[in-house]
Amino acid sequence: MSRFDGKTILITGGGSGLGRATAVRVAQEGANVVLVDVSEKGLEEARQDVLSEAPNVQILTVTADVSKEDDVAGYVGATMEKFGRIDGFFNNAGIEGKQNLTENFTNDEFQRVLAINLSGVFLGLEKVLPIMREQGSGAVVNTASVGGIRGVGNQSGYAAAKHGVVGLTRNSGIEYGEHGVRVNAIAPGAIWTPMVEGSMKQIDAENPRRAAEQFVQANPTKRYGEPHEIASVVAFLMSDDSTYVNAAVLPIDGGQSAKY
Ligand SMILES: NC(=O)c1ccc[n+]([C@@H]2O[C@H](COP(=O)([O-])OP(=O)(O)OC[C@H]3O[C@@H](n4cnc5c(N)ncnc54)[C@H](O)[C@@H]3O)[C@@H](O)[C@H]2O)c1
């Protein structure tokens, strides 16, 4: 018996990086998966990845923008229509935004990052939590960041949004615990995904590889995390191995956020 046999796991940002790796992981453990992303190409690649690892699971892909309320209602509705329940929700889609000092950040960019990284997470919670409350069970994992528990610099929008995700997580966790629903967050450090590759290009457009090597020296492990190292923890938080973990924010960062 696998941990996710017969369960439905809904994943935003499922077309790439952490979302895609988590889809593969939970599908390997028996889950049917719903993948949501703005990128149709990413969704198709993720579908192939999942099916090559777990040919017998059912997959639904939904193209949607998590910052748009109608799209969120659409992906939740499509999930319910196909599977009739949501056992786990990895509320994960996000962007980094343009790096800049606060005084140069611009309100437009600030609002853009908040719309996806914070409102997108709220809208997902707003529409999924009543379903889980009705079921009397369910586990949500929101994606925060080390940038949601520490200052990083040059990331006003990202920092505000990810600190906000931590707040939403604690707030919803204490609201829904009595209904058998858990809401936790992960705070990943630097995990090698297309987003972090893009970040290194922002830091040093001419030599992103050098920027990447320097950046990771601050980490106690002296290496980047890999998406599967996030997926295993997200799977744990969505499984019955973590039934007393609620409203928690878990760093997955090789110890970086503990460092003085
Ligand atoms: N990689 C890291 O080091 C790291 C660290 C901390 C937090 N995070 C967070 O993890 C999450 C996933 O990041 P990743 O590293 O896998 O990045 P990624 O770029 O590989 O994947 C993000 C996915 O989200 C999708 N997406 C972007 N905007 C969207 C929108 N409006 N609606 C729907 N989908 C959208 C993208 O198309 C992409 O497929 C993000 O919330 C990110 O902030 C990543």
Q: Is the CB of 22 under 6 A from ligand 1?
A: no
**58 is in which domain, residue-wise?**
8-258
Mutate to test the pocket of ligand 1, among 47, 89, 95 (most ligand atoms within 8 A of CB): 95
Number of domains in the chain: 1
Question: Does 153 fall in a domain?
Answer: yes
Contact, 144 vs 191, CB < 8 A?
A: no
Question: Closest Cα partner for 147 from 194, 107, 185, 201?
Answer: 185
Question: Does 239 fall in a domain?
Answer: yes
Give the per-residue pLDDT at 15.
98
CA distance 50 to 241: 23
The domain that contains 210 carries what CATH number? 3.40.50.720
Question: Does 109 fall in a domain?
Answer: yes
Give the per-residue pLDDT at 186.
99
Question: Does 3 fall in a domain?
Answer: no
CA distance 237 to 260: 28
Q: Is 158 a catalytic residue?
A: yes
Question: Does 1 fall in a domain?
Answer: no
Question: Closest Cα partner for 96 from 223, 218, 198?
Answer: 198
List the chain residues with pLDDT less than 50.
Answer: none
Contact, 88 vs 9, CB < 8 A?
A: yes
Selected catalytic residue, list 75, 158, 176, 244: 158
Give the per-residue pLDDT at 1.
73
Give the per-residue pLDDT at 245.
99
Give the per-residue pLDDT at 154.
97
